Amino acid sequence: MTEFEERVRATLAEVRSHPAFRVDLAVEGSVTAWLTGPGHMLDTIRTVAGIDFGVGMGRNFHRFDGLGLAWSAVGDRSIGGEFWLTNLAMVCVGRVPDHVTAAQWPGSRRPASSRLDAYDPVDCGEHTLYGFDGAGYRGYLDAMLRTRGFLHWQYLYADPADPWFSGPHRPDLRRHVDFLAAAFPDEDFSDLATRARNLATFSAAL
């Protein structure tokens, strides 16, 4: 397994065995084993889909396809989360062109419909992802695992004043962060608690 795959497996096992979590759905998915590494993945996407990502999109390389977990807090189903992982090659390649050989795309699953209309390689690969305040795509995946994917965790890393988040719905995530801190006392969630307080203060002032 890759380093990120091992981290994902460890997080799944941790949530499944933790008495504070109820696992509502777990989908093992599959592994696109013929992808040999981040360079191969990016080359494949470039060849098959014509998308030329920056090297940043190769960080946190994983081969999962359709792996997912949904959970809720024991005793309080208003706290919950989920995350789903599909590797970039499967996401970005909506259809494998006829001229692409089995050597270039040897997987038994050759997508026939697109799950992604367009990516901006610069924004997604190296800088920001929908206003995400982190290290691009790699930071997004890191934060997803750290928060165990609790619902709306992305708001912790976004500027609440950003027009992309316009509208009345800015969730109060303080209870979610408190839940994580209680469940994992050896981890430091103080920065997330600060982000959650700032988000709540901003929302209250609207």
Q: Is 110 helix (H, G, I), strand (E, B) or coil?
A: coil
Q: What residue segments make up the domains of the chain, in order of their start?
A: 3-204
Compute the distance between CA of residue 56 and CA of residue 121 in angstroms, rounded to an integer. 9
More confident residue, 35 or 172: 35
- Helices vs strands, H then E, count in the chain: 7, 4
For 65-123, the pLDDT digits (tens) are: 999 999 999 999 999 999 999 999 988 887 777 778 888 888 666 665 444 333 333 33
pLDDT bracket for residue 166 (50, 70, 90) = low
For 37-67, the pLDDT digits (tens) are: 999 999 999 988 888 888 888 989 999 999 9
Q: Give pTM, 2 decimals.
A: 0.82
Span 120-145, mean pLDDT?
62
